Amino acid sequence: MAKISYSRIGFLLCCFLLPGLIGTFASFSIPAPVVDELHQQAALDAVLNAPDSAAQAAAIARLPEDVDADTAAMITKGTGPMAARVAAAEQNMRTEVVSEARDEAYRIRLMVITITVLGALFGVALLGPGRG
């Protein structure tokens, strides 16, 4: 009867579990910028499509909580027609979302590289020294 090699079982588990963990963690951060953009767009739409001036003032008052500070400032401190301010804020918001998406992609790649290297080192450690 063959002896069970726990180090080889551990190595096989690492081969299958680590990519699964990487994918799981990455799946949580991939949609974050898009979800953020949807929430911000809804807040900007509420300002633009408010039925009356009281509703618009309430939507503007909520902007600092719902959008980025500089996007909110473009509307709250800006001058000119509201439609133009909202259009400028939308453009600014989209630029920031693209930047956030690029940052997230970089972090995900860094996580994948780090976990892959650590998994390889762990696998080598589990296999132990060679038998001569």
Give 14 or 85, the one with higher predicted confidence. 85
Number of H helices, E strands in the chain: 5, 0
CA terminus-to-terminus distance, the chain:
22
CB 75 within 8 A of CB 63: yes
pLDDT (average), residues 9-26: 75
Residue 132 has pLDDT above 50, yes or no: no
Q: Within 13 Å of residue 128, how many CA atoms lie on the same side as its CB? A: 8
Residue 16 has pLDDT above 90, yes or no: no
Cα–Cα nearest to 67, from 51, 48, 52: 48
Residue 33 has pLDDT above 80, yes or no: yes
pLDDT (average), residues 87-103: 91
Phi/psi for 36 (5° steps) reads -60, -45
pLDDT (average), residues 39-61: 93
Cα–Cα nearest to 46, from 59, 35, 27: 59
Q: What is the DSSP secondary structure assignment for residue 22, as one 8-state letter? A: H
Q: What is the DSSP secondary structure assignment for residue 49, as one 8-state letter? A: T
Residue 49 has pLDDT above 80, yes or no: yes
pTM of the model: 0.67
Q: Within 13 Å of residue 118, how many CA atoms lie on the same side as its CB? A: 11
Interval 121-131: pLDDT, tens? 777 777 766 55
